[in-house]
Structure 1
Amino acid sequence: MSVDDIIVTGNDLVALRRFITDTRNEFSIKDLGSLSYFLGLEVSHTDTGLFVSQAKYALDILERANLIEAKSVSTPLLTGESLVSTGSSFKNPTLYRSLVGALQYLTITRPDLSYVVSSVSQFLQSPTEDHFLAVKRILRYVKGTLHFGLLFTKHHDSSILGYSNADWARCVETRRSAYGYSIFLGGNLVYWSAKKQSTVARSSCESEYRVMANAVAELVWVINLLRELGALPPTRSVLLCDNKSAIFLSQNPVAHKRAKHIDLDYHFVRELVSSGRISTKFVPSHLQLADIFTRSLPRPAFEFLRSKLCVCLHPTQRLTGGNRDNTN
């Protein structure tokens, strides 16, 4: 097995240098210094932390789609739009799959694209003309936000905070719910997901509770990882949800009889809450950051949630005024 690239990080500079020296003695490697580029990810060091983007990669996608000169748009999907499987077949499905695959990799630093890319990914087998138009709109949005990426800054608060949300019966064809969640560590976004639930939920409470179970599973993974690294925050991890019924289920054992059809998820979440490892709290819908992972939003709401996800313009671009998100 050959390894082309590796990132070495830590808080002990002496140990890092010893590791690099020992590795160089054993293998033929080249030390490129401070992290700046890794597998298509561009890393910039700022006064407060790191900025990670994929501007060059995004530009390559636009060139492949012949949309370099296209007019940019303010959101990746029209407000309230839902894609369906019917319509005229797209004549070049290979191009469609290639562009969607490239966009999937772009979501590594662009969580604001997660919902729409997940939506168009559901039609890889038989894309239609409407699906390709949706992909083109995503790329036009990317053009207007080419130098956007994830900003990681140092915070005194190292707590773990999660958001989970579901849009009940979002899919008009299968009536399965769209769901998403995000996890923040010390105010920085470290994990997120946007998908369609694998089963039909019988109520909005059920769909919300199922995504809570998914989010809690990832929270536990993050907690265990930080514990192994010796960096687990002293405060209890919190999961925020905007569905009061789902919050009630997670905190009240007397509600068990009402949720027999989601028995497994109930026991999983309830056990973690009762043990004190996880805390669930209510958050108003307008502050539900995971809402951006479940449906298309109007521009003001979309841009507000995008900024809360730490997705922003490159700091140097903000100073020079270049490539602003001034799309229509």
Structure 2
Amino acid sequence: MQSTTQPSSAHPMVTRSKVGIFKPNPKHQASIANLIQHNPYTSLIAASEPKGFKTASKSPHWMHAMHEEINALHRNNTWTLVSRPSQANIVGSKWVFRTKYHSDGSIDRHKARLVAQGFTQIPGLDFCHTFSPVVKASTVRIVLSLAVINNWPLHQLDVNNAFLNGSLTETVYMEQPPGFVDPAFPTHVCKLNKALYGLKQAPRAWFQRLSSFLVTYGFTCSRADTSLFVFNQGDCLMYLLVYVDDLILTGNKPVMLSNFISRLHQEFAIKDLGSLNYFLGLEVMHTENGLFLSQAKYALDILTRAGLVDVKPVSTPLATTDAFTSDGTPYSNPTFYRSIVGALQYLTITRPDLAYAVNQACQFLHAPTDHHFQLVKRILRYVKGTLSHGLVFQRPKHTTILGYSDADWARCIETRRSTYGYSIFLGGNLVSWSAKKQPTVSRSSCESEYRAMANTAAEIIWITHLLRELNALPPDRPTLLCDNRSALFMSQNPVSHKRAKHIDLDYHFIRELVMSGKLHTRFIPTNLQLADIFTKSLPRPQFEYFRELLRVCAPPVRLRGDNGKQYH
């Protein structure tokens, strides 16, 4: 039941929110549909995709897509038809349909995928190990930053039917595909020879197949991120990022890149998508001095799902007075709340300005209230006003690692735990950031800042390990900036302070880093502390100032005059 308590306001107008009505107004739906219709991202309202074979069989383009999939499965010798065994588990099968789009919203192709119903598999019988790594977002940003710094080309590759290349070590039986049952053997089942989409072990089998080929070719698997492969022979250097069946390739020798792509073509069914422009929902715009990363299409998709395409924008994700607490009327649709907040979490890959607000919303996924959803709606209103904003990567003059660390002591009203955040730059490009609640209560602001510095130092050390494997470690030692002098003193002096004796020993490793010269810590005034944007809600002027320093902005605009010159 929704609360009808009116919020305190001196304004006499009775609004929908004052009487407890938060559902979308039906009379606005026509204008929302009209706005989306004239929006360049038309993919968001495309015709609904069929849910099963019976519906898809009525459409010629979906039937064509299914025939292409079946032909690919037969060419790959994915299964062998055998008599139905009496003592074995038979895994179900189904069709999944997806419409693929370009970054501008236009339709790329219709894709039909035959998948095994992995939920019908029996652990220990149909599968054993399932884990398969995926590349970290920080690793992607670091590689892109290095490509910008060195002015290297970026290639995007896609593996067709990637999971079909994985070999199975278990015996798995599957029902014949719906609509494509062999009329000569209608009661037979498919004994799988290769991994198939939907199987629990399919991602792991594909990754092992791909990594084995890459190691044979001469790549080494990174220990800092196992989805990154590095080729370093002579004066040739190549990086390959793997995210399931999507690959990003860059390096210093265009000829070697072409040779490797050709070899990859011989081993797998590879689609060369050319220069990197759209990767996992990330839109990549190549500029004269670097790259611009954004998720405008994805952000509009979130607004459309939430029914908030027509909302009025706001200037900050949260007001300085907004706070997430567990008090309030439970929200009527917690699944919808989790869906929207989860989507916003993925949006933070290129939007660090959303990190703090989204982290606050994520802390109440288990039991959201109406007040929580109102705050999430404010975040979405901010997204609406900054739909095209993204992250800028530019070619720097110096390649150094610079980190900012900050904590807001006892920020959480209910648990009194502190919120900490950090931002780490490589050559002036933001490559890693975080906004989190500390796991324990700190007894002082010095303690919370010291713990934040230790966590930031751990991330910096991981980045240095990754850069060393990439043969791109800057010669200068990393610098960590903090605005708390007491925490700086603790990090620089091996003293046993009576107020810090309860701090876990693992946090004190930052002292060893400073003493050994592997890390340099310095003081920075609070008004220049970029990590402040990850620890609290800020007033608009300060928020926009820090957002600009983080290099989050609108896409570069290029105007071409009559004389052919470009004006920025």
SS at match of 1:158: coil
How much has 1:34 moved relative to structure 2? 0.3
Look up the match of 1:32: 273
SS at match of 2:364: coil
Look up the match of 2:343: 102
1:176 aligns with 2:401: no
Look up the match of 1:309: 550
Residue type of the alignment partner of 1:251: Q
Residues of 1 paired with 2:266 and 2:543: CA distance? 51
Residue type of the alignment partner of 1:254: V
Look up the match of 1:46: 287
1:89-120 superposed Cα distances (whole Å, 9 cap, x missing partner) = 11011110000000000000000000000000
How much has 1:14 moved relative to structure 2? 1.9
Q: Is the 8 A contact 1:148 1:314 kept in 2?
A: yes
Residues of 2 paired with 1:24 and 1:109: CA distance? 31
Q: Give unpaired runs (5+ residues) of structure 1.
A: 321-328
How much has 1:260 moved relative to structure 2? 1.4
How much has 1:4 moved relative to structure 2? 2.6
Residues of 2 paired with 1:172 and 1:185: CA distance? 35
Look up the match of 2:487: 246
Q: Is the 8 A contact 2:386 2:554 kept in 1?
A: yes
Q: CA RMSD in A?
A: 1.3
Look up the match of 1:90: 331
How much has 1:195 moved relative to structure 2? 0.5
| 1:256/1:88 CA distance change after superposition, 3 Å | same
Residue type of the alignment partner of 2:378: R
Residues of 1 paired with 2:432 and 2:338: CA distance? 25
Matches within 5 A, 1:92-241: 92-241=333-482
1:281 aligns with 2:516: no
User: Higher strand share goes to which structure?
Assistant: 2
Q: Which has the higher contact order (CA 8 A, sep 6+)?
A: 1
Residue type of the alignment partner of 2:387: L
Q: Is the 8 A contact 1:209 1:265 kept in 2?
A: no
Residues of 2 paired with 1:293 and 1:44: CA distance? 26
1:216-268 superposed Cα distances (whole Å, 9 cap, x missing partner) = 00000011111111111111100000000000011111355552112414530
SS at match of 1:189: strand
Structure 1 stretch 174-183 or stretch 247-256: which is displaced more? 247-256
Q: Is the 8 A contact 1:250 1:266 kept in 2?
A: no
Residues of 2 paired with 1:203 and 1:60: CA distance? 43
SS at match of 2:387: coil
| 1:283/1:99 CA distance change after superposition, 3 Å | same
SS at match of 2:270: coil
1:297 aligns with 2:538: yes
TM-score (norm 2): 0.55
Matches within 5 A, 1:60-75: 60-75=301-316
1:264 aligns with 2:505: yes
How much has 1:81 moved relative to structure 2? 2.2
User: Higher helix share goes to which structure?
Assistant: 1
Matched residue pairs, number? 319
Look up the match of 1:323: none
Residue type of the alignment partner of 1:261: H
Residues of 2 paired with 1:254 and 1:200: CA distance? 22
Matches within 5 A, 1:10-21: 10-21=251-262
Residue type of the alignment partner of 1:215: T
| 1:319/1:202 CA distance change after superposition, 3 Å | farther
Q: Is the 8 A contact 2:454 2:508 kept in 1?
A: no
Residue type of the alignment partner of 1:179: Y
Residues of 2 paired with 1:149 and 1:95: CA distance? 26
Residues of 1 paired with 2:315 and 2:515: CA distance? 44
Deviant stretches of 4+, over 3 Å = 255-258
Greater Rg by CA = 2
Look up the match of 2:297: 56
Residue type of the alignment partner of 1:154: R
Residues of 2 paired with 1:299 and 1:255: CA distance? 41
Residue type of the alignment partner of 1:155: P
Residue type of the alignment partner of 1:291: D
Q: Give unpaired runs (5+ residues) of structure 2.
A: 1-202, 207-243, 561-568
Q: Is the 8 A contact 1:210 1:265 kept in 2?
A: no
TM-score (norm 1): 0.95
Residues of 1 paired with 2:360 and 2:466: CA distance? 31
Structure 1 stretch 37-46 or stretch 9-18: which is displaced more? 9-18
